[in-house]
Structure 1
Amino acid sequence: MPPTLSKPNADDLWATAVNRLDKNLRTKIDFDHEKIETVSVVLQLTENAQTECDAKAWRLRRKNGVTVSVRDVLAKVIKWVNHFKEIGDIAVQYDPGYAALPWAGIRFLLQIVIGDFQAYKFVLESIENIIELLCRHAFVEELLLQFSKAPTKGPSASNPAHELRQALVQLYTSVLPYLAHARAYYQQSTAKRLVKSALLQPSDLEESFTVIADAQSKVDRCLHVASVQDELDRHDGLKDMVAALQAPVSRWSDELNKITDQLDKTKRREILQWLSKEPYRKHHQLIREGILEGTGQWLLSDPVYIQWKEESASSILWLHGIPGSGKSKLVSLVVEDAVVAFEKHQQAPPAYFYCSRSPAEPARADPEAILASIARQLSCLKPGHALLQPTIAVYDTHEEEGFAAESLRLHETCKLIVRLSENYPMLTIILDALDECNPATRESLLSAMEDILRESPCLVKIFVSSRDDQDIVYRLQRYPNLKISSHKNSSDIANFVESETGRLLNSGKLLRYSSAQQMMKQKIIKRVASDAQGMFRWASLQLETLCELKSDESVLERLGRLPRTLEELYREIFQKIENYQSGFDRQYAKHIFSRLLCAQRRLSSAEFLSAVSMAVPQQQLLRNDQILDFCCNLVVLDTQLDTFRFAHLSVREFLEKQEGYVSSSSNAVAAETCLVTMLGLAADPFSENVLSKLGYRGRIGNAQLQKYSYAFWAPHYQASAGERKQGHI
């Protein structure tokens, strides 16, 4: 006999849902538990399980191979149960006999699941989803009460609040059968359960949960139609409650603040420098420069990104797109998003790395160096803080064996990161421009990342950006991914073009002779933004090119025939440089490009100026602004590291295809500079005579450039190949 049900109160949605169930299903539902007591039991069960989980690092694997952190799922359950208890008064106003039904079912399932997480992995995640649903919709029911107090127009059946109420009842009606089926299923004997599992694909439970998901989607649509935000704006208390519900689950451990290492600052610095010397923070600061406020928010609010960030599964999210589409800028926003979460004690700090293809910075394309930098960042909570024991132990072992000077191999660093992960509730690893990593070895970096994902006892989130290189596509296409398109970033492009046009106009660089600046400004913004096709780099160069024009007519003419691709735009700029009237200016530009193409280490701005000034004998030292002017926005000054760089990888790629800038030609230029510098140090009659014939007088280069010349003259000379028979080398 099913329990006798009284006629439900008009506001008791759970009672209404129960009355919609058929009699056979109602017999499987337990009405005997008091809600508040049951909720407290669920909380206690979960907290006890999480304590045990912390000690055993429980994980489970989904059918698709994705690893799920049991600790993280339980943390979410605790979060939602606590929120439900805080809502308290909202839920208590209904008949506790009916509102207790789902909690009684959850308590039963939780007791079963805690006994064997791996066997009941699907049910564990479904429990977390249902508890979140119960919490959120207890709050929505309060909104319904607020709606019921407001005047309505037209018949009640067409009222959005009425539609929302019906959708909630339908959702509750789908939750109860799921809990009832699960209870009946797990009350069977093990033998019967095994037989049933073998016969049903997919299982009854998974099908029932799909019904819940569909019903939830309808509730979401009704919430949107019901203009919930208007109601929230009138109730500060409700707004605070929504903010609490939307706050992410804490993936932080106070134990991280209690770590000590008994080391002084010098020893800590020595160990960290042994792991990696890469200035990863300065790389990040450089990328962050110039980001327009408010841009990139489409990524942070994208459902794929949010799911990757919030779900309890260890996973990789791959951001990919064409050259110049702003991938690195977006990655810097992801880093900042994680840093903000750390500052709020919601998670541990992220470990990140910006790859770069440049012979002057070989470590930024080397998988071993990249992973070593990640390990360094994970070795302490903040710069200057105590080091984690696994890093100290690895260093001590190498020191005792007499190999402290040698860096870790890739597999050793990977094992170290896995050991470090034991100290964290969650790791966040962010890797930009994977395509700039050495193509011959980057597969090893991807394999290491997957090993970390698979073997770390904690939750691991890895964010990777790259172009669509085929080997990367092959490895990452099976993971969640986001492709940058003009559809996604069109608003960012428009804002960037408008802001940059205004800046150039205010500085007097653009339209300085125009008598119709505002009209011309709008024409420029409209055309450049619409033709950019998602490429910030293209838009930026087009605006810089327009600055060179002297009349409105020439600007309009240019807008009518803008180069369509970056390649065409680079070719146009390169042709302009090649056609400089002065041979000296052309020579300077060639030396600048050549040195950047083949430099064997990062040169300070002073070293670089000294080197390229030798393009013309007896010339005074060039200035920073002259370097930038010679190269027409193809080269920039990195103020963070005081070095010149190509403005974008695509500039390097373009030049490498041009006659006169192949590797042998660029290295010949560098070798000649090194040779002249070394002769200048010789201080003997023969060397002075040679330099005199070449037009040089006095001391050549600075001390740092002299060190560079001694160290890298031979590699440049060897790489110059057939060019050795020409020129001065």
Structure 2
Amino acid sequence: MASSCSTSTIPQRTVAEKRWHQAWESLKKEDKDEIKLDHTRTGYLDILQDIHNLATEKKEVCIQKAWKYKKNNGTTIIVRDLFEKILVWVNKVKDVGDVIVSYNPGHAALPWAAVRLLLTIAVEDSQSLGILIEGLEQISKLIAQCKVLEDLYSQSAGDDTGFDGALLELYAAILTFESHAIQIYRKSTASRLISAIILPSNKLQDGLKMVWVKHQRVTDCTRLIDAQYIRQFEDILRQFEHPIWKDSSASSILWLNGIAGCGKSVLTSAVIESLCQESSSMGTAALVAYFYCSRNTAEPERANPEEVLRSILEQISSNTAELPIRKPVVEVYKNLKKENRGLSPQERLSLDETTEVLLKILQVDPFCVVIDALDECDPSERYSVIESLKTIIDESANVVKVFISSRRDNDIVSQFEESPCISIQPSHISKDIEDYVRKEVSEAMEKKRIVKGKLLPEEKKKIEQQITHVLIDGSQGMFRWVTLQIQQLCKQVRVKGDIDSVLRKLPKSLEASYYLVYQDIMDMEEPSQKAAIRT
């Protein structure tokens, strides 16, 4: 088994080394001269460990000095967060690098060697350093991803896919960016700072744009190799990964909006799961909190803006149940207890007080918060949640990412009109709704929840197709509408003769569908009615 593993691994590594060497050979002479391996320290793991040590050291400096820098568009970037991301990518590569510790990757170590050199010569000035490190973080991420792409696609990519050529161009673009950065940051401190002012619209920014253009071509090639189309609903969720929000080191709000029943809560749940898994698997310091708003009389607190923020504070008061409560929370409790003459405080924190405690916690850690169905919050008060979140974003010492889903109510639209947004249109999810309808109808027919009697196979198929056609046509981009109609069909259709009549009477809108559910509840006996209203 061991020998089999080694023979399959070494050729792929040799392909990677050869491709990086070809990329280096394609550079201009002046760019080649800047990127050369130190043959006394070409070990892959040695270079990665050096980068880890340098990034850790500079991250601590950024924390102590609370360094930020402003981009040309006015966005404020937290420099410490960029170093943390570099560490994440280096650690990921190191984890698999231990397996090939005896293997000398030669030119495959070139891009990492350049990262190490740039971290060594980087000036300790927040603006100048920030510009460089933002680029290095993106480059580190791509180098790590390229390593995986080599393993996944090098053997399966045919000449017609263009994968090899696209990857070679991407490698050359990465090395060119690094070479230009080395040329700029090797200058004297004075001239380097002057360069930093004009740099964003110059060599580094142009080089980084070219890198992402080449990366997009590689991505297109991998999709071709996979021989499958990315479904539009998955594309919507993939926008959540866009650097404009999740991967950026700038604090921001991302707003997911769409009509009722279109799947916003499903997407939001996927976002929450992704953030929690990433925080756990990567070991990052980012705190994650979330809240599902609901206009439910049985749970009025879920529509209360103050409770939204209190719940968020409660979730990040401690990393786990076993760890101590964070100091800012303990301090505010002690102060309130003192004001209450030593008794436990009875009054809950106000919105402003909660915001203040959150800001104190965020002096130490970055933060991601997700709020689902903001439109379900009290319409007369929900603006206060948005204002508090914007205050936290503006005043936090760390990166704060806010993800909010809601319908397009006018007051919410006005608050987020300048924020990045994802708008779910019926056309985006038509394929997903069709698949959902077919699956649910097929399952309901199979389990005899629709039509209780025995059917011939051809009868069953005909009825299933009829119901599926009606539900797809009537869905208008609403998963929830489909679910409610299937519930009505299961309840009202006893024999096949009922099908046509029930389908004709299905409500056209989501509101009318909910009214039918309400009528069903009102027709129940009082104990059942009360139980249904509570849930």
**TM-score category of the 2 structures, normalised to the smaller one:** 0.7 to 0.9
The aligned residue for residue 256 of structure 1 is none
Paired with 1:298 and 1:143, the residues of 2 have a C-alpha distance of 21
Task: Please say if residues 131 and 200 of structure 2, whose CA atoms lie closer than 8 Å, have aligned partners that are also in contact.
Answer: no
Which one of 32, 36, 42 corresponds to residue 35 of structure 1?
A: 42
| Offset of residue 137 of structure 1 | 3.0
Of stretches 412-421 and 563-572 in structure 1, the one that deviates more from structure 2 is: 563-572
Q: C-alpha deviations, 1:665-715, integer Å up to 9, x for none?
A: xxxxxxxxxxxxxxxxxxxxxxxxxxxxxxxxxxxxxxxxxxxxxxxxxxx
The aligned residue for residue 17 of structure 1 is 23
Paired with 1:201 and 1:55, the residues of 2 have a C-alpha distance of 26
Paired with 1:324 and 1:211, the residues of 2 have a C-alpha distance of 40
Which one of 450, 458, 465 corresponds to residue 405 of structure 2?
A: 465
Q: C-alpha deviations, 1:494-521, integer Å up to 9, x for none?
A: 4543454356546755323574344312
Matched, 1:107 2:116: yes
The aligned residue for residue 311 of structure 2 is 373
| Offset of residue 204 of structure 1 | 1.8
Report SS of the residue matched to 1:623: helix
Q: C-alpha deviations, 1:205-258, integer Å up to 9, x for none?
A: 1111111111222223334445599xxxxxxxxxxxxxxxxxxxxxxxxxxxxx
List aligned pairs for 1:326-345, cutoff 5 A. 326-341=263-278
List aligned pairs for 1:245-260, cutoff 5 A. none
Task: Please say if residues 197 and 203 of structure 1, whose CA atoms lie closer than 8 Å, have aligned partners that are also in contact.
Answer: no
Task: Please say if residues 68 and 314 of structure 1, whose CA atoms lie closer than 8 Å, have aligned partners that are also in contact.
Answer: yes
Residue identity over aligned pairs, in percent, reads 31
Matched, 1:399 2:341: no
Counterpart of 1:324, as a letter, is G
Task: Please say if residues 50 and 74 of structure 1, whose CA atoms lie closer than 8 Å, have aligned partners that are also in contact.
Answer: yes
Report SS of the residue matched to 1:12: helix
The aligned residue for residue 220 of structure 2 is 221
List aligned pairs for 1:160-239, cutoff 5 A. 160=161, 163-189=162-188, 192-193=191-192, 202-226=201-225
Paired with 2:370 and 2:153, the residues of 1 have a C-alpha distance of 42
| Offset of residue 196 of structure 1 | 5.4
Which one of 520, 527, 532 corresponds to residue 623 of structure 1?
A: 527
Task: Please say if residues 296 and 330 of structure 1, whose CA atoms lie closer than 8 Å, have aligned partners that are also in contact.
Answer: no
The aligned residue for residue 552 of structure 1 is 496
Which one of 242, 248, 251 corresponds to residue 314 of structure 1?
A: 251
Cα 1:304–1:65 shift into 2, 3 Å: farther
| Offset of residue 60 of structure 1 | 3.9
Paired with 2:180 and 2:488, the residues of 1 have a C-alpha distance of 68
Higher helix share: 2
Q: Please, which runs of 5 or more residues in structure 1 have no aligned partner?
A: 1-7, 153-157, 230-294, 578-584, 593-608, 610-620, 629-635, 638-642, 646-729
Report SS of the residue matched to 2:268: helix
Paired with 1:562 and 1:218, the residues of 2 have a C-alpha distance of 47
| Offset of residue 100 of structure 1 | 5.2
Which one of 50, 63, 68 corresponds to residue 59 of structure 2?
A: 50
Paired with 1:201 and 1:103, the residues of 2 have a C-alpha distance of 23
| Offset of residue 415 of structure 1 | 0.8
The aligned residue for residue 97 of structure 2 is 87
Of stretches 444-453 and 551-560 in structure 1, the one that deviates more from structure 2 is: 551-560
Q: C-alpha deviations, 1:322-343, integer Å up to 9, x for none?
A: 1122333443444444455566
Task: Please say if residues 427 and 460 of structure 1, whose CA atoms lie closer than 8 Å, have aligned partners that are also in contact.
Answer: yes
Task: Please say if residues 184 and 195 of structure 2, whose CA atoms lie closer than 8 Å, have aligned partners that are also in contact.
Answer: no
Cα 1:336–1:471 shift into 2, 3 Å: same
| Offset of residue 449 of structure 1 | 0.8
The aligned residue for residue 618 of structure 1 is none
Task: Please say if residues 298 and 488 of structure 1, whose CA atoms lie closer than 8 Å, have aligned partners that are also in contact.
Answer: no
Report SS of the residue matched to 1:115: coil
Larger Rg: 1
Report SS of the residue matched to 2:126: coil
The aligned residue for residue 697 of structure 1 is none
Cα 1:432–1:185 shift into 2, 3 Å: same
Of stretches 192-201 and 166-175 in structure 1, the one that deviates more from structure 2 is: 192-201
| Offset of residue 142 of structure 1 | 5.5
Cα 1:562–1:25 shift into 2, 3 Å: same
Paired with 1:95 and 1:340, the residues of 2 have a C-alpha distance of 32
The aligned residue for residue 508 of structure 2 is 564
List aligned pairs for 1:474-553, cutoff 5 A. 474-501=414-441, 504-505=444-445, 510-513=450-453, 515=455, 516-546=459-489, 547-549=491-493, 552-553=496-497
| Offset of residue 443 of structure 1 | 1.7
Paired with 1:44 and 1:200, the residues of 2 have a C-alpha distance of 27
Of stretches 412-421 and 359-368 in structure 1, the one that deviates more from structure 2 is: 359-368
Q: C-alpha deviations, 1:301-338, integer Å up to 9, x for none?
A: 52434654444443322221111223334434444444
Report SS of the residue matched to 1:324: coil
Cα 1:571–1:40 shift into 2, 3 Å: closer
Q: CA RMSD in A?
A: 4.0
| Offset of residue 125 of structure 1 | 1.7
The aligned residue for residue 388 of structure 1 is 326
Task: Please say if residues 317 and 463 of structure 1, whose CA atoms lie closer than 8 Å, have aligned partners that are also in contact.
Answer: yes
Of stretches 511-520 and 370-379 in structure 1, the one that deviates more from structure 2 is: 511-520
Q: C-alpha deviations, 1:180-225, integer Å up to 9, x for none?
A: 2222223334554566566677212111111111122222333444
The aligned residue for residue 11 of structure 2 is none
Cα 1:549–1:215 shift into 2, 3 Å: closer
Report SS of the residue matched to 2:534: strand
Report SS of the residue matched to 1:320: strand
Paired with 2:444 and 2:108, the residues of 1 have a C-alpha distance of 63
| Offset of residue 9 of structure 1 | 11
Report SS of the residue matched to 1:118: helix
The aligned residue for residue 644 of structure 1 is 534
Report SS of the residue matched to 1:35: coil
Paired with 1:494 and 1:529, the residues of 2 have a C-alpha distance of 6
Report SS of the residue matched to 2:337: helix
Provide TM-score, normalisation by structure 2. Answer: 0.80
The aligned residue for residue 606 of structure 1 is none
| Offset of residue 470 of structure 1 | 1.8
| Offset of residue 573 of structure 1 | 7.6
| Offset of residue 474 of structure 1 | 2.2
Report SS of the residue matched to 1:438: coil
Cα 1:468–1:105 shift into 2, 3 Å: same
Task: Please say if residues 177 and 207 of structure 2, whose CA atoms lie closer than 8 Å, have aligned partners that are also in contact.
Answer: yes
Counterpart of 2:397, as a letter, is P
Report SS of the residue matched to 2:80: helix
Counterpart of 1:419, as a letter, is K
The aligned residue for residue 293 of structure 2 is 355
Counterpart of 2:115, as a letter, is I
Higher RCO, 1 vs 2 (CA within 8 Å, ≥6 residues apart): 2
The aligned residue for residue 436 of structure 1 is 376
Paired with 1:198 and 1:48, the residues of 2 have a C-alpha distance of 25
| Offset of residue 84 of structure 1 | 4.1
Cα 1:100–1:407 shift into 2, 3 Å: closer
Task: Please say if residues 154 and 164 of structure 2, whose CA atoms lie closer than 8 Å, have aligned partners that are also in contact.
Answer: no
Paired with 1:117 and 1:200, the residues of 2 have a C-alpha distance of 14
Provide TM-score, normalisation by structure 1. Answer: 0.60
Counterpart of 1:318, as a letter, is W
Cα 1:505–1:398 shift into 2, 3 Å: same
| Offset of residue 124 of structure 1 | 0.6
Task: Please say if residues 20 and 171 of structure 2, whose CA atoms lie closer than 8 Å, have aligned partners that are also in contact.
Answer: yes
